[in-house]
Amino acid sequence: MTRFILVFCWAPHLGAKVLEQPLYMKKLTLIILSILALVGCEKQPVAEKPVPNTAPTGAEGAAQKAKPSTPAGSTKVQPKTAKSDGASGPAAKDAASNLDSAALAKTAKKAVDRGLRFLRSKQSENGSYGNHVGLTGMALMAFGESHRDYRYDDGPFISRAADWVAKQARADGAITGDATHTYNTALAIMGLQAVDPKRFAKEIKGGQSFLVKFQSDEERKYKEADKFYGGIGYGGDERPDLSNLHYALEALKKTDYDPKSDVWAKAQKFVSRCQNRSESNDQPWAGNDGGFIYAPGQSFAGGTTSYGAMSFAGLKSLIFTRAGKDDPRVKAVLQWIQKNYDFSLHPGMDTTSYFYYLQTAAEALRAYGESKLKDSKGRTRSWTRDLTERMLQIQKPDGSWVNANKKYWEGNPILATARSVITINHALRSADAQK
């Protein structure tokens, strides 16, 4: 009976004709139609169940121009065409796009709170994060610069971390472990500044002196004609680079280092020699797209190709060294940023150092002081909204962020989450400042 009903439903116009035939014809016709119906059903494609998103935590990308590989079973930081493995995926971005500014800010603050709770859950018993100075300093920045304005006395999750960082201070002023001394020191004093600058005034001052000591200038036998003049490296014999320098400059700026010091002008000399702008860069390799590279003559995007993080680092460094918005170098890098406006990937580097790129972009654009930019198509964009929506899209259900590209340590969810919270903090405060 069920088969007969199937026939009449599948081909009702034929069913009507069957009723007009003699009994033996009715039976024969119904048998034929039933067979046809069953064959037709067997040939229908069966929808596959969606593959659940089981992407493991990833890591930071490689400093190579070639597209980085992705381990089996993992997903990259989500490019425009890929499904998100964030807390809510593309739906989060779509939902955020429909929110007004106040509602978006409220949603972003909740995302920050989830990120901070994740960080608290990863704090070591001694108060540090992975016994790493730089990582712990970044966590303190995430807490202290958030909308919660956490301070030293707000709980042991702040005080224990800050005390642990302060205990790592050395006699020469560095606050560091066994490597990357300037990076760690810069992040350490910014973290201490964020939660209690008076309590840690001694450590902050010592850190400032250490950073300045490693500037490549006359005291270190450099001449102004040397291409590395004014730069700061890793704190040893390594060559200076813009990545170390922009963190050092940010740390000095945030901790109110002497604005009259010649440190700033010397640093600007080095910054100019990292820009692809031949009119202001005296190096023979300099191009003219306005973007920045890692160090004079060296780019992790290949050759001397400008790329995202360093272009924002260059913008930030120019602003911190008192170059105005009408400065040709500032205008040039802003044009590069507009032509390469993209928060879904790291321009020039794909998924490499993706969260580092987002953090640097937020810091630089906040320092620049404008909430609107033109993109490559001439459309006016709110970078604070675009960046906030992106961060909401890729947050994990547990409140963390992580990069599936496993180079430069962004596979560590503590690092990626600290960077992400700092990124949103800058976007929120910049949006508030523009109201």
Please report, in tens digits, the pLDDT of each residue of the chain (435 residues total): 444 333 333 333 434 444 445 554 555 555 554 544 444 433 333 232 222 222 222 222 223 323 333 222 233 444 443 333 333 455 555 667 789 999 999 999 999 999 999 999 999 999 999 999 999 999 999 999 999 999 999 999 999 999 999 999 999 999 998 889 999 999 999 999 999 999 999 999 999 999 999 999 999 999 999 999 999 999 866 799 999 999 999 999 999 999 999 999 999 999 999 999 999 999 999 999 999 999 999 999 999 999 999 999 999 999 999 999 999 999 999 999 999 999 999 999 999 999 999 999 999 999 999 989 988 899 999 999 999 999 999 999 999 999 999 889 999 999 999 999 999 999 999 999 887
Number of H helices, E strands in the chain: 16, 2
The full 3-state SS of the chain, as one line of letters, equals: CHHHHHHHHHCHHHHHHHCCCCHHHHHHHHHHHHHHHHHHHHCCCCCCCCCCCCCCCCCCCCCCCCCCCCCCCCCCCCCCCCCCCCCCCHHHHHHHHCCCHHHHHHHHHHHHHHHHHHHHHCCCCCCCCCCCHHHHHHHHHHHHCCCCCCCHHHCHHHHHHHHHHHHCECCCCCECCCCCHHHHHHHHHHHHHHHCCCCCHHHHHHHHHHHHHCECCHHHCCCCCCCCCCCECCCCCCCCCHHHHHHHHHHHHHCCCCCCCCHHHHHHHHHHCCECCCCCCCCCCCCCCCCECCECCECCCCCCCCCHHHHHHHHHHHHHCCCCCCCHHHHHHHHHHHHCCCCCCECCCECCCHHHHHHHHHHHHHHHCCCEEECCCCCEEEHHHHHHHHHHHCCCCCCCCCCCCCCCCCCCHHHHHHHHHHHHHHHHHHHHHCC
Q: Which residue has the tokens 């930071």?
A: 60
- Residues β-bridged to residue 295: 298
Taking residue 6's Cβ as centre, other Cβ atoms within 10 Å add up to 15
Provide the terminal-to-terminal Cα distance of the chain, rounded to the nearest Å. 71
Q: What is the pLDDT of residue 273?
A: 98
Predicted structure pTM score:
0.80
Question: What are the structural domain ranges in the chain?
Answer: 2-36
- The 3-state DSSP class for residue 71 equals coil
Q: What is the pLDDT of residue 354?
A: 98
Residue 357: both structure tokens together: 């790129």
Q: What is the pLDDT of residue 92?
A: 58
